């Protein structure tokens, strides 16, 4: 963990476990490191990099937008695999933002990922540790050597990711109303049971 933290704070790129899948990431505040993640994954630049944090207090590193619905979602589903779109603070790396200036963030329940974000004091880029077009993985033995050869460290400690669906991605469009951009580990039914009206994005 000490070595992994040094990689992140030193501007490096790391492979590490999350609650769903193995991730490749870096400091979400480091533009050069985020650019390396794009290059290593051969990722489409129209797909911004998602972020994870250790606790809701770290939201202030990413956004100053704090509607009641964001806190309601956090109370219901964080820590957990629900990513919420929020507007970014000025000056954050373009690689983490879409064309509207939004990034997705979640509070991770994975003890290793959370400790990494807590110790480094930064939001972490957390995109699946695979070259784009290839399968995401939940065990270090399944990581692609072509990807891991280009990173600065691989944090292959237990608990392993549980596998299965990736995080669900939602946007808060209006008070009490969510748009699902990707349905994953948190179902639409669970969001509706929490009292939110849920819709799909416009075509």
* DSSP per-residue letters across 117-135: HHHHTS-EE-EESS-TTSP
Q: Quick one: pLDDT at residue 203?
A: 58
Q: Quick one: pLDDT at residue 45?
A: 87
Residue 28: which of 110, 79, 92, 87 has the closest Cα?
92
Q: pLDDT tens for residues 94-110?
A: 999 999 999 999 999 99
Structure tokens at 73: 């979602």
Q: Quick one: pLDDT at residue 79?
A: 97
Q: pLDDT tens for residues 38-89?
A: 999 999 988 999 999 999 999 999 999 999 999 999 999 999 999 999 999 9
For 97, residues 6+ apart whose C-beta sits below 8 A from its C-beta are 48, 88, 103
* pTM of model > 0.75: yes
pLDDT at 182 over 70: yes
* Stretch (H or E) spanning 188: helix 188-193
Q: Quick one: pLDDT at residue 202?
A: 65
């Amino acid at each position: 963990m000490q070595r992994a933290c040094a990689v992140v704070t030193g501007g490096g790129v790391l492979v590490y476990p999350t609650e769903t899948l193995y991730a490749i990431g870096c400091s979400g505040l480091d533009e050069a490191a985020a650019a390396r993640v794009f290059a290593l994954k051969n990722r489409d630049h129209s797909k911004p990099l998602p972020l994870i944090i250790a606790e809701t207090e770290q939201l202030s590193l990413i956004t100053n937008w704090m509607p009641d619905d964001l806190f309601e979602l956090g109370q219901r589903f964080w820590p957990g695999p629900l990513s919420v779109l929020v507007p970014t603070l000025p000056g954050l790396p373009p690689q983490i933002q879409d064309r509207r200036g939004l990034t997705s963030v979640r509070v991770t329940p994975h003890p290793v990922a959370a400790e990494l974000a807590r110790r480094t004091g930064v939001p972490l880029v957390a995109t699946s540790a695979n070259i784009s077009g290839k399968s995401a993985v939940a065990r270090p033995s399944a990581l692609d050597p072509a990807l891991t050869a280009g990173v600065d460290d691989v944090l292959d400690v237990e608990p392993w990711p549980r596998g299965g669906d990736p995080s669900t991605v939602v946007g808060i469009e209006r008070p009490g109303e969510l748009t699902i951009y990707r349905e994953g580990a948190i179902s639409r039914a669970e969001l509706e049971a929490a009292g939110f009206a849920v819709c799909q994005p416009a075509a």
